[in-house]
Chains A and B, each alone.
Chain A
């Protein structure tokens, strides 16, 4: 049997509209948190480390909670997880605005919002998409939903900047908290009876986890996604500093941010469309290889505003294009029954890579006095990720005692 097959229940239009709106909100709001650094630290009298530590905890909590949120979604339906995630998100944003100590900030912006993100982002939405969209359109649908998340990131930076400027940072957080409550009615559009959620072969959670971690292709996919996290976090966090070191103005960094955001939408959608026609391992290998090539050219060529813009546009195309492809591969290998949970594990690997990208970027800069070493590590990791994606098997795992859905 093909474990990727499952009986569809909800209409594709409904799943896509509701799923896309949810990830637009959840990914978008989180993407603008850096804008709060200055006003929050100034008013509370905190160091930047206090703020940065809260966001670092958020990223780790997001990654660690992902497999658990996915497991609950796979067993009891995405609706409950999305409702819980939406409420946690709202509570996290409001308490983030009320926090007066570093510990409270870590609990609100870090733990609460980190767990909320685990319950409202890609693995949860992709699980619903995979169960309700025909296999021949699944990659495209995942690309469309992921592009919505990319659009959210692009959209919410100016929106949050405007909210902070117009109403103050604290009221901006309260408004965003209210906005996250929109996830609740949107989640209703993704609600399925619990018996319809458990599609695919009978298999326990433990057996699914053992099967995935005993399957070499899954481990290769996780290793590749680790590199993805490393690249994005290092570039996202350290590139403005790199530009500043080389005498480029703040306007160049802002335009770079805009170009990455704009081209990310096209890249993510395009990867989903390509995934419908080409082998996903080849798409992933090409993405990682092109990232290495782009970074190498960026470092080797003279640094000018134009080279920054070209680099940003190219990296934007390659930014989140790994998301629909990677999750689509998980569905191809193991089917959709535990897709959200297994997607959560793969994302955990991404978050560990993100953590290392941010930390190692700063650490090696302090030791060597430049980012050159880290840029070349990023190039080498990209080549490594391209190579390890090539032998991935895209066929469904063979189960000795698999039962039809």
Chain B
């Protein structure tokens, strides 16, 4: 991955993102996705959501 999320294009700083920060950013993003996905797997939520989705048809 060569993209640089930390660089400020206005010339303030343009260095590559620190690898540790990059790992943490990816870790945080994946953790957030996993957390939301577990909500979909919760039986009570899944039943409730399925009832609402099914009610549309």
Are A and B interaction partners? Answer: yes
Contact in complex: A161, B7 (CB < 8 Å) = no
Please give, as numbers and ranges, the residues of chain B lying within 8 Å of A162 by CB-CB distance. Answer: 45
Nearest CB on A from B15, distance (A): 13
Contact among B3, B6, B33, B53 with A140 in the assembled complex (CB-CB below 8 Å): B3
Classify the secondary structure of A's interface with B: helix
Please give, as numbers and ranges, the residues of chain A lying within 8 Å of B9 by CB-CB distance. Answer: 8, 11-12, 132-134, 137
Of the candidate stretches A249-257, A288-296, A326-334, the one touching chain B is: A249-257
Contact in complex: A158, B8 (CB < 8 Å) = no
Contact in complex: A161, B10 (CB < 8 Å) = no
Number of chain A interface residues as a range:
35 or more
Contact among A10, A13, A48, A240 with B53 in the assembled complex (CB-CB below 8 Å): A240
Number of chain B interface residues as a range:
20 to 34
Contact among B12, B45, B52 with A38 in the assembled complex (CB-CB below 8 Å): B52
Assembled-state Cα–Cα distance A183/B45 (Å): 28
Classify the secondary structure of B's interface with A: helix
Nearest CB on B from A134, distance (A): 5
How many A-B residue pairs have C-beta atoms within 8 angstroms? Tell me. 98
Given that A132-B9, A133-B9 are contacting pairs, would A253 and B53 also be in contact in the complex, using a CB cutoff of 8 Å? yes
Please give, as numbers and ranges, the residues of chain A lying within 8 Å of B45 by CB-CB distance. Answer: 158, 161-162
Contact among A8, A10, A37 with B55 in the assembled complex (CB-CB below 8 Å): A37
Nearest CB on B from A264, distance (A): 11
Contact among B46, B47, B50, B56 with A34 in the assembled complex (CB-CB below 8 Å): B56
Assembled-state Cα–Cα distance A134/B3 (Å): 12
Of the candidate stretches A87-95, A149-157, A377-385, the one touching chain B is: A149-157
Given that A11-B8, A137-B3 are contacting pairs, would A258 and B56 also be in contact in the complex, using a CB cutoff of 8 Å? no
Contacts of B6-57 to chain A: CB distance below 8 A: 6-10, 12, 32-33, 36-37, 39-41, 45-57
Q: Which of B37, B39, B40, B47 has the most CB of A within 10 A?
A: B40
Please give, as numbers and ranges, the residues of chain B lying within 8 Å of A257 by CB-CB distance. Answer: 40, 49, 53
Contact in complex: A240, B56 (CB < 8 Å) = yes
Please give, as numbers and ranges, the residues of chain B lying within 8 Å of A158 by CB-CB distance. Answer: 36, 39-40, 45, 49
Contact in complex: B48, A240 (CB < 8 Å) = no
Assembled-state Cα–Cα distance A253/B57 (Å): 12
Query: Which of chain B's residues has its CB closest to A12's CB?
Result: B9
Given that A13-B6, A255-B40 are contacting pairs, would A154 and B54 also be in contact in the complex, using a CB cutoff of 8 Å? no
Contact in complex: B8, A37 (CB < 8 Å) = no
Q: A35-B52, A158-B39, A240-B54 are in contact. List 7 more A-B contacts (CB 8 A).
A: A11-B12, A35-B49, A35-B53, A161-B48, A250-B50, A255-B40, A255-B46
